[in-house]
Structure 1
Amino acid sequence: MRHELEEVNVLASHYADKAISDAYSVLRSWKRRAEKGRASLRKPKLKRVYVRVKSTLRKVDGENVRITVKPYQYLTLSWSHTWFSPRVKGLELGEPVIKEDRVHLPFRYRLPWSTPLDYLAIDSNLYTLDAYDDEKFVTFSWRELYSLKFGMELKRGRIKSFASKHGRKGGKLMGKYSHRERNRVLDYVHKFVNKLLEMYPVKTFAVEKLDKQSMFQDADDKLSKEISRTVWRSIHRVLKYKAPLYGSLVKEVNPHLTSKSCPRCGWVSRKVGLFVVRGVVSPWTGN
C-alpha cells in the first residue's frame, strides 16, 4: 500500500501512517464505548474527510506554519491577526488537521520537566469538592453551580413544552437556551479551576476517575437527577489542560474506597464520611 501511494506522491507514505494511526485510535475508542453499552455495535464511519499533518511535514516560524503538501509545494498558514492569537502565545503547535473547508490548528502546553512532589488529593461529591493538601482539609462548594443548573433545568422544561407546540420556532428557542446553559456552566468551571490553580500551584492533583453511567445503575430517580447535574468530568478535563500553566500535573485514580480512606495514613473506615472537612472555601474569595 505504501509503495503504491509513493508512486503517486513521495510524501504519501507519511500521510498513510497518520491515517492508519487515526483509524486505530477511532476503533479503540469505539470498542471501549461499545463494551460499556454507550455506542452502537456497528463499526464507526468517518462522515467527513480530513488529513492529520505529522510534525515532520510542518515547519513553524513565529506565528506561521508551512505544511508540505507535495515536494516543493507548500501550504502556509498564519494566526498572527486572529482572535485567539493572544491566547496561544507561548504555546506549542501540535499536528494541524486539514479538512475540506477549514484547517484546525491545535496548540498544547509544555509539561514540566519534573513531577511536582506535593500532592492535592481531591474527592468529588454532589455539592462539594473536598481536598487534602498534606496539612489540612479544605472544601470548595458547588452550590452556586448546582443552583444554576437546577434553575436552567426548570426553564428548559417550560421551553420544551413551548417548543413541542411551535415547531421550528420552538426548536430554535430550545437550542438557544441549551447553548446559553452550556456557556454559563463552562464559564463557572473555568473560573473555578483558575482559582484552584492559583491557590495550589506546582502540585500533582489526584482526582477520581468517575463513571456516571455506572452510578445511574445503582441510584434511584432522585439521586439520578442530582448526579446528572454534576460536571465532574468537565472540571477534571479543564483542570488537566490548564494545570501545566502552573507547573502542575493531574493524575486520575481509581475512586474505589477514596471517600473512606484516610489521606494521611491510608486507613479505611467502615463508615462513610468519617473524615470531616475542617474548612469551607469559596472559589471566588478564597476565604
Structure 2
Amino acid sequence: MRLKSFQPEEEYVYLTYSMKNDEGEESRVLLENYSVLLQRALDWLWERIKVERKEVKKGKKTFTKVKITLPEKKGVYRTLRDELEKINNLASHYADKAIRDAYSVLKGWRRRAEKGRASLRKPRLKRVYLRVKSTLRKVEGETVRITVKPHQYLTFSWSHTWFSPRVKGLELGEPVIKEDKVHLPFRHKLPRFTPLDFLAVDSNLYTLDAYDGEKFVTFSLRELYSLKFGMELKRGRIKSFASKHGRKGKVLMRKYSHRERDRVLDYVHKFVNELLEMYPVTTFAIEKLNKQSMFQDTDDRLSKKISRTVWRSIHRALKYKAPLYGSLVKEVNPHLTSKSCPRCGRVSRKVGLFVVRGVVSPWTGN
C-alpha cells in the first residue's frame, strides 16, 4: 500500500451568497447561446441512447424492467464537440461545458427512469443556468471576470455587498449565473479537530428531542409547524382563486409559495445558528429520515402532519454549518431509535416509552 501522506485530507465547507445580476442583458444573451449548445448536445446524445425493456416476474406479479445505456463519453466526445463548434457563438470551453452538463442531465434522468420515477421521453430544459468553469473565470481582488468569447467579458464585484467581510480571504469556486441573480460559492478551509462532546437528536412532529450524555433537552418546533399550517390554509384559498383567474392567479400563487419558502428557511437558519452556538465543538447524531416510507405506514391525518415537517431542511442546514463551529454531523439509521433508551440502549416494546421530558430549552426566534 502506498500512502502519499500520513496527514489527513484537508476538508472544506462552501459558503454560497447571492447578488443581483447587474449584467442582465449580457447575461441573458450568454444563457440563450449556452442553452442552444446544451439542447443540441442533448438531442445528439438522445439519438444514440439505447432503451431495453425486459419482462420480470416476481411472485404472481409481472412488471417491466427498463435498462438505459448512454453512449460512452470517450467514444463520442470528439465527434460531438466538433458538432457543437459549428453552432457555437461563445468561447470554445462552453462546448466542453455543454457536453458535461448534457451527460449530467441524462444520467439523472436515467437513474429516475430505471426506478420508474420518470417517463421515457426526452428530458426538457426548463430554466437554464450556467455554472462557470474555472478556465472561464479570473478573480482579481473582490471582482470576478467571466469570459463570454475572446475579448468579451462579464464582470461581477462583491466589494460593496453585505457579505464582503465574511468572505474576505476565501477562495471563489464556480459562479452560477442566472438571468436575475449570480450565486458565488466561496471555499473555507476547515481546521483539523476532534469534537469530544456529542448530542443525539430525535426528530418529532413538534420538537427535536436530544440527549447529551447527562441530561435530556427539548427544542420546540411548534412555531415553525404553525407557520407551515397557516401558509397551507392560505395557499388553499389562493389555489381556489387561481383556478378562476388564470394568469393573475398563477402569479399570486408563485408569490405566496416563495414567501412560505423564505419564511421557513429564515426560521430554520436562525434555529440552527442558535443550536450550534449552544453546542459548539460537538458531534451531532441525527436520523436519516425518509418521508415517503412514512406516508405508506400512516393514515391520511398523520400523513398531512408529517408533510408539514421540515426535518430535511434542518438537517441540511445543520450539516453544512456545523464545521464552522468545530462540530460534525453523523446520520444514523432511524430504526428503533424512538424505542431505545439513550442511557443503556434497551429497546422497549411500547412506542414512546423513552420520550424526552427533561430540561426544555425552546428557541423563541427573538
TM-score under structure 2 normalisation? 0.64
Cα-to-partner distance string for 1:149-168 (whole Å, 9 max, x where unaligned): 11222222222223322333
1:200 match: 279
Structure 2 residue runs without a partner (length 5+): 1-76, 86-90
Cα-to-partner distance string for 1:35-78 (whole Å, 9 max, x where unaligned): 55544444545456665444466554432335577899876542
- Do structure 1's residue 110 and structure 2's residue 110 form an aligned pair? no
1:164 match: 243
Conserved 8 A contact 1:55-1:95: yes
Q: Name whichever structure is richer in strand by fraction.
A: 2
2:202 match: 123
Distance in 2 (alpha carbons) for counterparts of 1:114 and 1:15: 42
Alignment of 1:73-152 (within 5 A): 77-89=156-168, 91-97=170-176, 104-152=183-231
How far residue 124 of structure 1 moved from its aligned partner, in angstroms, is 0.8
Amino acid at match of 1:110: K
2:55 match: none
1:252 match: 331
Distance in 2 (alpha carbons) for counterparts of 1:182 and 1:25: 27
Query: SS of the counterpart of 2:294?
Result: helix
2:53 match: none
Alignment of 1:1-287 (within 5 A): 1=77, 16=96, 22-23=101-102, 25-34=104-113, 37-42=116-121, 44-47=123-126, 52-55=131-134, 58-66=137-145, 77-89=156-168, 91-97=170-176, 104-277=183-356, 278-284=358-364
Structure 1 residue runs without a partner (length 5+): none
Cα-to-partner distance string for 1:162-204 (whole Å, 9 max, x where unaligned): 3322333333332222222222211211111111111111112
The 3 A distance-change label for structure 1 pair 249 and 39 is farther
How far residue 21 of structure 1 moved from its aligned partner, in angstroms, is 5.5
Conserved 8 A contact 2:242-2:248: yes
How far residue 223 of structure 1 moved from its aligned partner, in angstroms, is 0.8
Amino acid at match of 2:205: L
The 3 A distance-change label for structure 1 pair 30 and 203 is farther
**Identity %, equivalent residues:** 82
Distance in 1 (alpha carbons) for counterparts of 2:297 and 2:174: 42
Distance in 2 (alpha carbons) for counterparts of 1:227 and 1:207: 17
Amino acid at match of 2:262: N
Cα-to-partner distance string for 1:112-151 (whole Å, 9 max, x where unaligned): 4234232221111111111111221111111111112112
Conserved 8 A contact 1:15-1:54: no
Conserved 8 A contact 1:2-1:13: no
Distance in 1 (alpha carbons) for counterparts of 2:340 and 2:333: 12
Conserved 8 A contact 2:93-2:136: no
The 3 A distance-change label for structure 1 pair 100 and 188 is closer
Distance in 2 (alpha carbons) for counterparts of 1:242 and 1:215: 27
Query: SS of the counterpart of 1:106?
Result: strand
How far residue 231 of structure 1 moved from its aligned partner, in angstroms, is 0.5
Conserved 8 A contact 2:81-2:99: no
Query: SS of the counterpart of 1:257?
Result: coil
The 3 A distance-change label for structure 1 pair 3 and 40 is closer
Structure 1 vs Structure 2 CA RMSD: 3.5
Distance in 1 (alpha carbons) for counterparts of 2:181 and 2:143: 16
Cα-to-partner distance string for 1:189-234 (whole Å, 9 max, x where unaligned): 1111111111111112222121112211222110111011001111
The 3 A distance-change label for structure 1 pair 82 and 147 is same
TM-score under structure 1 normalisation? 0.80
Cα-to-partner distance string for 1:74-131 (whole Å, 9 max, x where unaligned): 7654221235434544544222345688754222443342342322211111111111
Distance in 2 (alpha carbons) for counterparts of 1:69 and 1:167: 39
